[in-house]
Amino acid sequence: KGGLPTKLTAPIFTSENLYLQKANEKYRAYLVGAAKRYRLTPHALAAMVNAEAAKVKKTGEWLEDSVSTKSTAAGLSQFVNGTWYACLAAPGTQGNQAALAYLKVEQLEAASGMLFYPASQDKGKTKLRREVSASDREKMLAWRMGGEMSIDALAWYMRYNLAIAEKALKKSLDKLPPDELAKIAYVLHHEGSAGYFTGEYRVTKKIDFLKRLGGQLGGKTKTDSIENAEKFSERHGFGEDYVSAYYYWLANHTDTHVRASEFMIDKGGFVERSAFDVFEDVAGFKIPRSSLKPVEKPKPKERPTPKAADKTAPAKPTPADKVGSGAVTTKSGPGATHTSPPTASAGGQEVGHDKPVGGAAAWCNPLARCAIRVGGYKDSEDNPASARSKSLFKGRGGKHKGIDLQAAVGTPIYAVANAEVFMIASIPGYGKTLVLQVNINDLAAKQKAYIQTIADVKNDTVYFLYAHLSEVSVSKKSRQKVYVKCGEAVGKTGETGWAKDMKEVGTGSAIKYGGHLHFEVRSSPNFAKGKGKFFDPLPLIDKLIS
């Protein structure tokens, strides 16, 4: 209706299907209750809290008492003073009920970032509104540190902002799926207006978008921030069009940080639409995309002109280029390729090259068949959805640093891209391990675009880790540089390290042994405790089998 989606399969958004990390289970009842009160779903609300809250790195716990060093924002939902006053004045919120009882009044007003007792009539005389005292305001600002009231306030603010957007856009948003409402509400919360969606940003002269973008990207000084914004805009193909650069940054940021599907135990085939597509439906105009300029590679030297006597016709190319041990490379996007792994095992054949390998940007899944592992846990039979969640990134209470892919012992693994062999080692817990170092400019378009959203990635370099292996088909001496081609079979899965103890029986097609592939992507290869920087590899996988 009006260009907006209107149908949705509901069961996946039930409260029973809400997934929370162990450290955040204490907020479950608050999320479910607030979602019901404000016609949201707990998954969408959890995604918003997760995007706003400060977190404990090790456990992912949302911090109730966090305080911003850059503004007056505080608490689980990071409300600044003025917005919190608006919540206290809004009839029906938990904050309003508590404030009225505390101040012993029947009504409050919020305006200009301040909280007021309203104007009143007393014996025919009008009493002008007056500010609530500083001491009382201080007391009520401290309520932001309570998880229940903070979550209720965030749910109210989502609905409040969505109503403002509907009025500005002159269209109803009620038919949108919950995950999409969360994305829109996040932008409204972030910006404090509907200007992003109305198109006002594209014509206004009142906002310096270079400074605004710099403020988001940050830097040691204001000058650094501006330089970072200029580099960001240039890198993504916007030049000095900082409005488009900001549109792209915020859509991309939202797409990365507000993911309702991450809070579902069972996704049931649900695929979350990108923020770019959602925002275009709502706004009615194209949201700028990145057009990253490829890294310029040195041009190959011109071959000498063949002599007139040499009339040998060149050999005709085969239908597909051979890569490594029989992998086939096919086009999958502008300037990028997808490499399918060979159908046969490498049979123990050793691979490796002493010079960097060339070829187009490409991606190959680490296994010929990629499915999230369900077997191997005590609850694999009784609660397969719970078992599956443990195999995902940040599963097991936030401790899992990669994804576990189903694979019997001896299944071939493949180089995901043209890469340098960074490390082959036996690591406690990981067992036999292979780490490949990859320049993101050698990745296919989809995978490269995803990794460019990760702030921690430095020098366009990431590291792919394969663990619990039974064998590695590459050898590397100290300080020796060894390279592999995208799609080459580089080893076989096993059950080394902690995997050897993960042998509880699984259900259905789940592998019923310890064998599986633990697969990680890192922005830092440091294995020292607390030093590794990880991010979710699941979005990189093509054609995941559910």
Q: Which residue has the tokens 């608050």?
A: 30
Query: How many structural domains is the chain composed of?
Result: 1
Q: Give the span between the Cα atoms of 357 and 485, in whole angstroms.
A: 6
- Token duo for residue 251: 């859509």
Residue 393 to residue 227: CA distance in whole angstroms = 34
Q: Is 62 exposed, middle or buried (0-12, 13-18, 19+ CB in 10 A)?
A: buried
Classify residue 513: in a domain, yes or no: yes
Is 134 domain-assigned? no
pLDDT of residue 355: 62
| pLDDT score of 387 | 75
Determine how many CB atoms are found less than 10 A away from the CB of residue 134: 8
Q: How far are the Cα atoms of 394, 441, 521 from residue 457, in angstroms, in the given order?
A: 19, 13, 11
Residues of the chain with pLDDT under 50: 1-10, 293-298, 300-301, 303-336, 343-348, 504-512
Domain assignment present for 236: no
* pLDDT of amino acid 81: 95
Decide if 461 is inside a domain.
yes
Own/partner long-range contacts of 394-399 (Cβ < 8 Å, ≥24 apart): 394/21, 394/60, 394/536, 397/21, 397/22, 397/23, 397/59, 397/60, 398/21, 398/22, 398/23, 398/58, 398/59, 398/60, 399/58
Q: List the structure tokens of 344.
A: 């046969």
- DSSP readout, 357-415? ---SEEE--SSSS-BB---SSTTTTT-HHHHHHHTSTTHHHHT--SEEEE--TT-EEE-
In this structure, is residue 394 part of a structural domain?
A: yes
Residues present in the chain in total:
546
Contact 47, 262 (CB under 8 A): yes
Task: Specify the amino acid at residue 250.
Answer: L
- The residue among 299, 312, 387, 354 whose CA lies nearest residue 485 is 354
pLDDT given for residue 323 in this prediction: 36
Write the CA distances from 129 to 92, 110, 115, 117, integer angstroms.
Answer: 21, 11, 10, 5
Confidence at residue 246, expressed as pLDDT on a 0 to 100 scale: 96
Range of 517's domain?
330-540
> What span, in angstroms and rounded, lies between the C-alpha atoms of 165 and 536?
32
Cα distance between residue 407 and residue 413, in whole Å: 10
The verdict on residue 227 lying in a domain is no
Q: Closest Cα partner for 473 from 521, 522, 414, 419?
A: 414
Q: Which of 166, 34, 29, 24 is nearest to 87 (CA)?
A: 34
Find where tokens 């001491």 sit: 135
In a domain, 520, yes or no: yes
Q: Is the dihedral of CA 493, 496, 499, 502 positive or negative?
A: positive
pTM here?
A: 0.54
Strand order of the β-sheet with 336-340 is: 322-323, 327-333, 336-340, 361-363
Domain harbouring 496, CATH code: 2.70.70.10
- In eight-state DSSP terms, residue 79 is B
- Determine phi and psi for 517, rounding to 5 degrees: -110, 120
Integer-rounded Cα Rg, in Å, for the chain is: 27
- Domain assignment present for residue 337? The answer is yes
Query: Which position has the token pair 């200029």?
Result: 230
Q: What mean pLDDT, rounded, does the chain reach?
A: 82
Q: Give me the DSSP letters along 293-359.
A: PPPPPPPPPPPPPPPTT--PPPPPPPSS-EETTTEEEEEEETTEEEEEPPSS--TT--B-BSS----
Distance, in Å, from the CA atom of 74 to the CA atom of 296, rounded to the nearest integer, reads 45
Other beta carbons within 10 angstroms of residue 135's beta carbon come to 7
Local structure of residue 88 (DSSP, 8 states): H
What φ, ψ does residue 482 adopt, rounded to 5°? Answer: -125, 140
State residue 333's pLDDT score.
Answer: 40
Residues 308 and 310: their CA atoms lie apart, in Å, by: 5
